[in-house]
């Protein structure tokens, strides 16, 4: 059984804290859609970190709305700015959801960057 399969099973059984389990499940979902360390190895300009930062920023915007410090109209404008200024990929691929979902996605993207880093450090060739 691979480490990913072990972690998935631990998550399913509830043996991993909910937040950590959700992050691992999100990363496994990303991998199932083809976003593997090998495919991510072509991101050499910090794209995965920028994507994580974008989702952290939208999570913060959502928190400000929840706390009443920001209205929905201003929040939409900030999300558009984040899409344009921080999101490193095609605009239509940026899909913020809820504060918690965006925090989970951000953490999974940091995990993806760590996997990409380890892959390259171990001699894996970046994809052009």
Q: Give the tens place of pLDDT for each residue, 67-98.
A: 999 999 999 999 999 999 999 999 999 999 99
Model confidence at 14, pLDDT cuts 50, 70, 90, reads low
Percent of residues, the chain, with pLDDT higher than 70:
87
Higher pLDDT, 103 or 6: 103
Q: What is the dihedral of CA 39, 41, 45, 47, to 10 degrees?
A: 40
How much is the average pLDDT of 85-114? Answer: 97
- pLDDT of the residue at 2: 65
Cα-Cα end-to-end distance for the chain? 31
């Amino acid at each position: 059984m691979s480490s990913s399969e072990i972690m998935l099973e631990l998550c399913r059984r509830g043996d991993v804290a909910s937040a950590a389990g959700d992050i691992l499940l999100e990363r496994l979902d990303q991998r199932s859609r083809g976003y593997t360390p090998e495919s991510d190895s072509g991101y050499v300009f910090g794209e995965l970190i920028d994507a994580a930062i974008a989702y952290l920023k939208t999570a913060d915007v959502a928190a400000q709305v929840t706390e009443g410090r920001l209205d929905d109209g201003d929040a939409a404008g900030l999300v558009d700015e984040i899409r344009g200024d921080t999101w490193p990929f095609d605009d239509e691929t940026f899909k913020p959801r809820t504060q918690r979902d965006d925090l989970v996605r951000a953490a999974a993207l940091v995990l993806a960057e760590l996997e990409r880093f380890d892959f390259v450090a171990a001699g894996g060739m970046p994809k052009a």
